[in-house]
Amino acid sequence: MTAPGWYPDPYYPQIERWWDGQNWGWQTRPRPAPLISMQPNLGVDAGKRPMGKVDEKVSSTGEATHVRDTDSEPPQEDQEAQPAQSRTRSPRWLLIAIVILALVAVGVQLARNDSSRSTSNTTAARTTLATPQPTVSRAAAPAVPPTSQVPTVSQAPAPAKPPAPTGPPAVGRSYRDGKFEFTVNSWDGTTVNLTVRNIGDRPQFLNTSAQYLYDTQNRRFEPSGDISSDLFLATLNPGQSVSGSLSYVLTGATPAYLELHDSMFSGGVKAPLR
């Protein structure tokens, strides 16, 4: 198995593609040009072609002649021209490939735009043909016949006064004791319906057993412990109110008034029932 690294692309040898050890990746880069040796050639004069080996031969006249062996080393210009040519061709092929890919992408996008435009135009035409706009005809307003009579202004009757509450004097009135305000909503002879509101600045517990009833003989009665009433064991926060009923067991007694208390130690307030 080949180790991960950069290798020549199997389809475009001018570039290198990343191999992760199992598959080719999408990362590419230009293939690097071969390195050119910058070491000076001792057998080459500046600005001249490289010289071959020099052999001395002695002629028949006794003079020494020098013969160059030009086949021992290739010309330096050919070695330098080949890397330069490879460096020039690689970017050119890469540029051509990029231009071709860009033209293909532009053509695909234009084809998609034309397809979406034709689809929208077809849908709009079908919608127009399928749902014709209804024509609404407006009827002319009926003509108002002229009149010379002056309209008479009728006076509205005065609002009727609400009927005075019937029943005991305490019904419909509010009474305050300490941190509670009591409103008597109704009284049927044995059961009173109350609305209690906390007018203080802290929570307050409502003691239902401290809401007394006195009869005409000044005898005191406590309400029966009805746990179904919302007033039973109610604790009210400031501004909170609760409504409920309290029932009294009266055996031949005639009720005179209610004595409503903030707590069992308060002075209480009287709500007359006669």
Least confident of 6-15, 100-109, 126-135: 126-135
Q: How far apart are CA 78 and CA 219, in angstroms?
A: 136
Task: Say which DSSP state 109 is in.
Answer: H
pLDDT of residue 107: 83
**Mean pLDDT for all residues in the chain:** 75
In a domain, 114, yes or no: no
Residues in the chain: 274
pLDDT at 66 over 80: no
In a domain, 167, yes or no: no
pLDDT of residue 214: 96
Q: Give kind and range of the element (H or E) at residue 173.
A: none
Number of domains making up the chain: 1
pTM summary value: 0.41
Q: Which phi and psi (to 5°) does residue 272 adopt?
A: -65, 140
Residues 6 or more apart from 243 whose CB is under 8 A from it? 185, 193, 194, 195, 196, 230, 231
pLDDT of residue 213: 96
Q: Look up the CATH number of the domain holding residue 252.
A: 2.60.40.4170
In a domain, 227, yes or no: yes
Q: What is the pLDDT of residues 198-252, one digit of tens each?
A: 999 999 999 999 999 999 999 999 998 788 889 988 999 999 999 999 999 998 8
In a domain, 194, yes or no: yes
Q: How far apart are CA 94 and CA 88, in angstroms?
A: 11
pLDDT of residue 161: 62
Q: How far apart are CA 235 and CA 257, in angstroms?
A: 25
pLDDT band at 79 (very low <50, low <70, confident <90, very high): very low
The answer to whether the CB of 198 falls within 8 A of the CB of 179 is yes
In a domain, 188, yes or no: yes
Q: Name the E strands within 51-188.
A: 53-58, 64-69, 174-177, 180-187
Q: What is the pLDDT of residues 134-193, one digit of tens each?
A: 555 565 555 655 555 555 555 666 666 655 556 789 999 999 999 999 999 999 999 999
Least confident of 41-45, 90-94, 103-107, 136-140: 41-45
Q: Which of 208, 205, 255, 251 is nearest to 228 (CA)?
A: 208
pLDDT at 63 over 60: no
pLDDT of residue 75: 38
Tokens matching residue 163: 């009927």
- More confident site: 157 or 11: 11
Mean pLDDT score, 104-124: 73
The answer to whether the CB of 182 falls within 8 A of the CB of 194 is yes
Q: Give kind and range of the element (H or E) at residue 257.
A: strand 255-260
pLDDT of residue 138: 62
- Tokens 């540029």 identify what position? 95
Instruction: Say if residue 212 is exposed, middle or buried (CB neighbours under 10 Å; 0-12, 13-18, 19+).
Output: middle
Residues 6 or more apart from 204 whose CB is under 8 A from it? 178, 179, 180, 198, 235, 236, 262
Half-sphere exposure of 145 (CA within 13 A, CB side): 3
In a domain, 230, yes or no: yes
In a domain, 210, yes or no: yes
pLDDT of residue 37: 54
Largest pairwise CA distance in the chain:
177
Neighbours of 43 (CB within 10 A): 13
Q: How far apart are CA 90 and CA 163, in angstroms?
A: 107
Task: Say which DSSP state 208 is in.
Answer: G
pLDDT of residue 177: 96
Q: Which domain holds residue 247?
A: 173-272
- Tokens 């009287």 identify what position? 270
In a domain, 237, yes or no: yes
Bridge partners of 221, per DSSP, are 213
